[in-house]
Chain A
Amino acid sequence: MSVVKMQKIRIIGLKEDKGALIRQLQKAEFIHLKSFEEGALDDYFSGHDPENEARHISEKITHIESTISFLEQFNENKTLVENFFPARVEIDKQEFEKTARNFNYEEIIKNTNDIKDKIFKIDDKISSMHNDIALLTPFKNLSWSPCQAKETQNTNSLFLKGPKVKYISLTEKLSEKSATYVENISADVDFAYLMLIYWKENEGDISSALKEEGFETLNLSLCDKLPSNAIDSYEKQIESLLKEKEKLFKKIKQMLKCKDKLMMVHDWYLFGLQREKAKEHLCESETTFVLQGWVRKDDMNKIKETLQNKTHPTYIENIDPDEGEFPPIEIKNPVLVRPFQPITKLFGLPHFGEVDPSGFVAPFFFMFFGLCLTDAGYGIVLITLTLLAMKKIKVGSQGKQFLRLFLLGGIATIFWGIVTGGWFGIEIAELPQVLKALIIINPLENLMKFFILALSFGVVHILLGIGIEMYEQLRSRNFADAFADQLSYLIILPGAILWIISKQGFLSPKFSQAALFIMIAGAGIMIVSSLFKKGRNPLLNVLISLGGFIWKSKDFVGNILSYSRLMALGLATSIIALVINILAGIALEQIPYLGILAALLIIIVGHLFNIAINTLGAFVHTTRLQFVEFFSYFFQGGGEAFQPLAQESKYIISKVKRSAASTGRRAEGR
Chain B
Amino acid sequence: MDLGLGLSIAGGALAVALAGMGSAIGIGIAGEAADGLLSEEPGKFGNLLILVALPGTQGIYGLVVGFLVMQKIGIMGGTIPDISSYQGLQILFACLPIALTGLISAIHQGKVSASGVGVIAKQPKAFMQAVIFATLVETYALFGLVASIFFLNGISL
Listed in ascending order, the chain A residues whose CB lies under 8 Å from chain B are: 83-86, 346, 447, 451, 561-562, 564-565, 567-569, 571-572, 575-576, 578-579, 582, 613, 616-617, 620-621, 623-624, 627-628, 670
Contacts and interface: CB of A to CB of B under 8 A. Distances in A.
Given A562-B139, A624-B135, A447 B64 contact: no
Nearest to B45: A83
Given A83-B45, A578-B67, A627-B132, 4 more contacts: A561-B143, A575-B68, A623-B128, A670-B125
B37 interface: no
Nearest to B136: A624
A346 B64 contact: no
B129 A346 contact: yes
A206 to B, nearest CB: 47
Nearest to B153: A447
A582 B68 contact: no
A447 B132 contact: no
A620 B130 CA distance: 11
A362 to B, nearest CB: 18
A564 B46 contact: no
B1 interface: no
A572 B53 contact: no
Given A575-B67, A576-B63, A617 B45 contact: no
B153 A616 contact: no
Contacts of B121: none
A83 B45 CA distance: 6
Interface stretch (B6-14, B28-36, B54-62, B87-95): B54-62
Nearest to B135: A620
13 contacts: A83-B45, A346-B129, A565-B139, A568-B143, A568-B145, A571-B145, A572-B60, A575-B64, A579-B67, A613-B56, A616-B50, A621-B142, A623-B132
A628 B136 contact: yes
Given A620-B131, A620-B132, A620-B135, A576 B149 contact: no
Nearest to A450: B149
B146 interface: yes
B132 A571 contact: no
A629 to B, nearest CB: 11
Q: Is the interface of B mostly helix, strand, loop or mixed?
A: helix
Interface of B: 42-43, 45-46, 50, 53-54, 56-57, 60-61, 63-64, 67-68, 76, 125, 128-129, 131-132, 135-136, 138-139, 142-143, 145-146, 149-150, 153
A568 B146 contact: yes
Contact of B61 (A86, A568, A627): A568
Nearest 4 CB-CB pairings of A with B:
A84-B46, A565-B142, A620-B135, A568-B145
Contacts of A569: 142
A339 B45 CA distance: 24
Nearest to B134: A620
A562 B50 CA distance: 23
Given A616-B53, A624-B135, A447 B149 contact: yes
B145 to A, nearest CB: 5
B101 to A, nearest CB: 11
A571 B64 contact: yes
A346 B128 contact: yes
Contacts of A613: 53, 56-57, 60
A240 B143 CA distance: 65
B64 A572 contact: yes
Given A575-B67, A579-B67, A613-B56, A568 B142 contact: yes
Contacts of A571: 64, 145, 149
Contacts of B46: 83-85
Contact of A564 (B56, B136, B143): B143
A160 B125 CA distance: 58
B80 to A, nearest CB: 17
Nearest to A346: B128
Contacts of A565: 139, 142-143, 146
A221 B56 CA distance: 60
A111 to B, nearest CB: 24
B60 A576 contact: yes
A652 B64 CA distance: 45
Contacts of B60: 572, 576, 613
A299 to B, nearest CB: 27
A576 B68 CA distance: 10
Nearest to A84: B46
A118 B48 CA distance: 34
A576 B59 CA distance: 11
A623 B136 CA distance: 11
A449 to B, nearest CB: 12
Contacts of B42: 83
Nearest to A447: B153
Contacts of A562: 139
A624 B149 contact: no
Nearest to A578: B67
Contacts of B142: 564-565, 568-569, 621
A24 to B, nearest CB: 29
A620 B136 CA distance: 10
Given A84-B45, A346-B129, A620-B135, A568 B53 contact: no
